Amino acid sequence: MLTFEPAETEQYEEFMRLMLDEARDYLEETQKLMQMSTEEFNHLFRTVGHVYAIYYDERSAGFYWIEEREKVLHLHALILK
């Protein structure tokens, strides 16, 4: 069974590591364009929108990060293990 739960504080580190493992070049280029440091990006994904942990049969399967802005749902990241 597939389930989703709000990510716990201690899971944000794993989420960031998985994002960097999967899309380091893209993230680094995006941060440059936004003139944002890695620390600022870490703060952004912890404070803007919501991060959910994805579980499959109670095993961690990944994360997704969403934000609703002006009636538009933005999917910022979807990381599957």
- Tens digit of each residue's pLDDT (9 = 90 or more) over 22-66: 888 998 999 999 999 988 988 888 899 999 999 999 999 999 999
CA–CA separation, 48 and 61 (whole Å):
22
Query: Residue 4 above 90 pLDDT?
Result: yes
Confidence of residue 1 (pLDDT cuts 50, 70, 90): very high
What's the predicted TM-score (pTM) here? Answer: 0.85
Q: Which domain holds residue 54?
A: 2-80
CA–CA separation, 4 and 80 (whole Å):
13
What pLDDT, on the 0 to 100 scale, is given for residue 45?
81
* Domain count along the chain: 1
What pLDDT, on the 0 to 100 scale, is given for residue 42?
86
Residues 64-80, mean pLDDT to the nearest whole number:
94
CA–CA separation, 19 and 21 (whole Å):
5
Assigned token pair, 51: 């991060």
- Single-letter amino acid, residue 32: K
